[in-house]
């Protein structure tokens, strides 16, 4: 089979590899469309290795392991491949664990499905495991409909951000204090202004962003939760300043609350009393397997019922041959409110 190997740069080469074999708890999927993520160019630069970095799978089940009970050959599925392991999605065939594989409805395209697994699960882990917000089916979520729970979503037009907006809506979390830029109109389609949701344009400058978030939070009694889907540049300091000013406005006490980031590294600018965490989506292949199992199936239900939508996609021509261009665009910040995806059948040499 054809497989794309990503190395530092990013630089991508297409190689011929054997079709991987699933173990007893895995599914072999013929990849129709693969998604991409910023980590796909960042990790080779960080670790210096050269591997198949793809983790977002959308395709058709080819073969299942002995313990797999939900899937059979021919099923239309999407899946989250375990990061930095063999059998990634940048290939004609990919491997996924059964608990991070989910059925996709007939009306959901493979392109839309390929935009979901890693980013949507990152949003779920961030909101519910790291920030401790009420899960959509919980009694606390029902009660939240009558009690404001302001939530900052910084980078709301990103894939993680747009999924966080949708999940927060299901949990009755409002007002949503969203920060976006070029794709702010995209975010507007997912929020509810009647419930106090706002979109602040970061291009207006840091002080304008902070002031607007503080003003919006003040109308609902302050803010104690933030998801930073950017986690670099001024986003960290701006969130910290919002928490600081909100605390001052409420009587000058110490700032308190929770912030979770999607990138590691030092986080300067947060006031004491604000709890910070890193959201690592790989936890659903480790200690949070049950969480991943439930939420991937919840995404499938949302797709079928229409309240959950995949991030907008852009099909990059050339199949696997388009990966280097897409990852370079991600590195250079050219993607705005869009997921780059690849139709594997367009790869030169596939099917011959």
Return the pLDDT at 266: 79
Task: Indicate the average pLDDT of the chain.
Answer: 95
Side-chain half-sphere exposure of 224, counting CA atoms within 13 A: 13
Q: How far apart are the C-alpha atoms of 1 and 4, rounded to whole Å?
A: 10
Locate 277 and state its tokens. 């965490």
Task: Report CA-CA distances (Å) from 143 to 12, 264, 308.
Answer: 50, 33, 22
Give pLDDT tens digits for 285-311. 999 999 999 999 999 999 999 999 999
Model confidence band, residue 252 (pLDDT cutoffs 50, 70, 90): low
Give pLDDT tens digits for 167-189. 999 999 999 999 999 999 999 99
Return the pLDDT at 4: 98
Return the pLDDT at 119: 98
DSSP assignment string, 92-157: SEEEEEGGGEEE--TTS-HHHHHTSHHHHHHHHIIIIIIS-PPPTTSHHHHHGGGS---EEEETTT
**267 pLDDT exceeds 90?**
no
> Quick one: average pLDDT of 109-119?
98
> Quick one: average pLDDT of 139-167?
93
Q: Are 337 and 312 in contact (CB under 8 A)?
A: yes
> Quick one: average pLDDT of 131-136?
97
Per-domain residue ranges for the chain?
2-115+312-346, 121-282
> Quick one: average pLDDT of 14-21?
98
> Quick one: average pLDDT of 220-243?
92
Could you say which of 3.20.20.70, 3.40.50.970, 3.40.50.300, 3.90.180.10 is the CATH number of the domain covering 2-115+312-346? 3.90.180.10
| CATH of region 121-282 | 3.40.50.720
**221 pLDDT exceeds 70?**
yes
Q: Are 122 and 38 in contact (CB under 8 A)?
A: no
pTM: 0.97
Q: Report the share of the chain in percent with pLDDT over 90.
A: 89
Residue 48's Cα: distance from chain center in Å? 24
Q: How far apart are the C-alpha atoms of 108 and 78, rounded to whole Å?
A: 10
Side-chain half-sphere exposure of 6, counting CA atoms within 13 A: 33
């Amino acid at each position: 089979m054809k497989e794309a190997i990503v190395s530092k740069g990013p630089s991508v080469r297409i190689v011929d590899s054997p079709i991987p074999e699933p173990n007893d708890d895995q599914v072999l999927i013929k990849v129709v469309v693969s998604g991409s993520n910023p980590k796909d160019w960042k990790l080779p630069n960080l670790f210096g290795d050269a591997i198949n970095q793809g983790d977002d799978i959308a395709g058709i089940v080819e073969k299942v392991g002995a313990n797999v009970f939900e899937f059979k050959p021919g099923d239309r599925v999407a899946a989250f491949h375990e990061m930095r392991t063999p059998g990634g999605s940048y290939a004609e065939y990919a491997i996924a664990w059964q608990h991070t594989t989910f059925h996709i409805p007939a009306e959901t395209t493979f392109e839309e499905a390929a935009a979901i697994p890693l980013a949507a699960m990152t949003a779920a882990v961030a909101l519910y495991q790291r920030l401790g917000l009420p899960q959509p089916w919980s009694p606390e979520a029902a009660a939240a409909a009558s009690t404001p729970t302001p939530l900052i979503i910084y980078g709301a037009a990103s894939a993680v951000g747009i999924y966080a907006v949708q999940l927060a809506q299901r949990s009755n979390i409002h007002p949503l204090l969203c920060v976006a830029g070029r794709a702010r109109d995209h975010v507007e389609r997912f929020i509810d202004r009647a419930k106090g949701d706002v979109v602040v344009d970061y291009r207006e400058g840091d002080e304008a962003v902070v002031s607007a978030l503080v003003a919006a939070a003040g109308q609902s009694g302050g803010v104690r939760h933030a998801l930073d889907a950017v986690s670099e540049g001024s986003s960290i300091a701006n969130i910290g300043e919002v928490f600081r000013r909100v605390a001052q406005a409420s009587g000058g006490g110490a700032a308190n609350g929770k912030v979770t980031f999607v990138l590691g590294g030092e986080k300067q600018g947060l006031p004491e009393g604000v709890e910070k965490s890193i959201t690592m989506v790989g936890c659903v292949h480790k200690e949070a397997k049950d969480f991943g199992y439930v939420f991937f199936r919840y995404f499938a239900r949302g797709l079928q019922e229409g309240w959950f939508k995949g991030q907008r996609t852009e099909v990059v021509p050339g199949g696997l041959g388009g990966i280097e261009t897409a990852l370079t665009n991600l590195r250079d910040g050219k993607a705005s409110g869009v997921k780059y995806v690849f139709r594997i059948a367009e790869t030169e040499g596939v099917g011959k």
